[in-house]
Amino acid sequence: MIDGSFLNFDENVALTKRVASIAHENGVAVEAELGKLADVEERSVEEKEAILTDPKTAVDLVVKTGIDALAVAIGTSHGAYKFKSEGKLDLERLKLISEVVRIPLVLHGASSVPQWIVEKATKYGAALGGARGISEDQIKEAISMGIAKINIATDLRLTFTATVREVLANSSKEFDPRKILGPAKDAMKEVAKSKMWLFGSSGKA
């Protein structure tokens, strides 16, 4: 993964092309990024266009760099506070991108921030008021439009934190890291499994 999205387009192309050349010589696939992950709810049309991935520019990046996968910006963002209200992805933009870009598309910042995890963490002392993520329905729709890889680090981190807090709160005398971290690891595993089912990468419906 090479993220040159913080650069201007030409600089992004130059950096990404150089990384792709080195990686491909060693049999390594390269994922690049175009557009910026940011809350676009209250931005003007001009501001949104400057942030989100443009389909024509996406094609240009792919052709000039030879990358193997492209992370697109369609309204997602990193962290647990993605939207002030119910968030909406620019699925029409994604459709246009998928029609012209012929490599796998990636969605960063796509955690759904399940409320049961937020409630569990909050119950045991976390301050997560206002945490909100991408709806599962929108994720499934994005998959149907060409998204092949989805990043969900925030959901896993929230699950880990919530479970560690729970263990420490209910077992105040516990000092063995294995017994504190073990349940958190198991909880993260279950969330990962549920995501695999949701994304269609597991045989379970």
CA distances (Å), 47 to each of 34, 50, 57, 59, in order? Answer: 15, 5, 16, 21
> 70 with 92: CB under 8 angstroms?
no
Quote the crossing angle between the two packed helices 91-100 and 136-144, to the nearest 10°.
Answer: 20
Report d(CA 79, CA 48) in Å as an integer. 19
Report d(CA 136, CA 75) in Å as an integer. 15
Q: What is the pLDDT of residue 147?
A: 96
> 164 with 120: CB under 8 angstroms?
no
Query: One digit per residue, pLDDT tens: the chain, 205 residues?
Result: 999 999 999 999 999 999 999 999 999 999 999 998 765 555 555 666 778 999 999 999 999 999 999 999 998 888 888 877 667 899 999 999 999 999 999 999 999 999 999 999 999 999 998 898 999 999 999 999 999 999 999 999 999 999 999 999 999 999 999 999 999 999 999 999 999 999 988 755 4
Report d(CA 73, CA 53) in Å as an integer. 5
CATH of 9-199, one of 3.20.20.70, 3.40.50.10380, 3.10.150.10, 3.60.21.10: 3.20.20.70
Report d(CA 119, CA 36) in Å as an integer. 30
Q: What letter represents residue 75's amino acid?
A: G
DSSP 19: H
Q: Is the pTM of this model over 0.75?
A: yes
Report d(CA 54, CA 38) in Å as an integer. 15
Nearest C-alpha neighbor of 101 from the set 66, 71, 59: 59
Q: What is the pLDDT of residue 205?
A: 47
Q: What is the pLDDT of residue 130?
A: 87
Domain boundaries defined on the chain: 9-199
